[in-house]
Amino acid sequence: MKSPLLFLPGAVAAEGHDEGVAAHYGDLFREQRALADGTGFVDLSHRGVVTVTGDDRLSWLHLLLTQHVSELPAGQATEALILSAHGHIEHALYLVDDGESVWAHVEPGTQEALIGYLESMKFFYRVEVADRTEEFAVVHLPAGSIAEPPKGVVVRETPHGRDLFLPRAGLESFAAEHGPAAGILAYEALRVETHRPRVGFETDHRTIPHELGWIGSAVHLQKGCYRGQETVARVHNLGKPPRRLVFLHLDGSEVHLPGHGTPVRLASDGEEGRQLGFITTSARHHELGPIALALVKRNVPVDAELLAGDTAAAQEPVVEQ
């Protein structure tokens, strides 16, 4: 879905996974500072929007998701995962129930696969699953924003801000009233700062929730009956995950940022040393400078100096060793 806000002054289109919305509107750091101060908004209208309606929606989703949602109060936001049979992360859903429907936004372009799985699991349950991406756009208001969402709009409120499920036809009028707009690069820089993982960035085909710190926030350990639960329970009770997420402060003298997939090695081993992990997301932060998230082997010493490609990096643990 290509956003009409790409026609705002200064808009530069994002590429790759976030294609369809603006990377920035001409001043990355100004946009970050605005979000940090609780002003402006972020256009996330490229994300998929899925709804589940019907009397059994919460009890049914409870059987499929890693989160405890059978008694989810109306208006309370949560997040949940769908795992493979081996416990690997397939989807992350950012949820809220409005009393009649569960609304979720998901990674761009993944809603079709998600709906295909959900449809295959309906059986006799009284639920209807729908792709609402063409009708609704996700807009993010930062934490501290005093902006009033339009009347009747479903809101998902979290400590990091509010996600609005806005009718797509009202996106331009919303922007005119609630600007300034901030691009996805500003949003991503703040996401990296707060160590929040994202499917397709911090995950690969074998990532399990424990590696990213999703236990607790997206995985409820006191429930069962979902695909992949055996792996979650086994790792939690009997072992530790093979990798862990770390936050990196990158050498600010480097002109370029190490991209997704850049090998991470011990600085003492140099650029030819053994690969111990990879960069998942990197960003330029308005206060911290160049930063990144990386997934590394669990036994990498927490005080070790690292190299991300040819860029020196100091790590802060996100997940315990």
The 10s digit of each residue's pLDDT in 111-149 is: 999 999 999 999 999 999 999 999 999 999 999 999 999
Q: Give the type of residue at 32.
A: Q
DSSP letters along 119-157, please? HHT-TT---EEEE-TTTEEEEEEETT--PPPPTT-EEEE
Q: Count of CB atoms within 10 A of residue 80's CB?
A: 25
Domains of the chain: which residue ranges?
4-47+135-194, 48-131, 242-320
pLDDT averaged over every residue in the chain: 96
What gap in Å lies between CA 296 and CA 237, rounded to an integer? Answer: 22
Q: Is domain 48-131 given the CATH code 3.30.70.1400 in the classification?
A: yes
Superfamily of domain 242-320: Aminomethyltransferase beta-barrel domains (2.40.30.110)
The 10s digit of each residue's pLDDT in 244-283 is: 999 999 998 777 899 999 999 999 998 889 999 999 999 9
Strands 263-266 and 78-83: unpaired
pTM of the model: 0.95
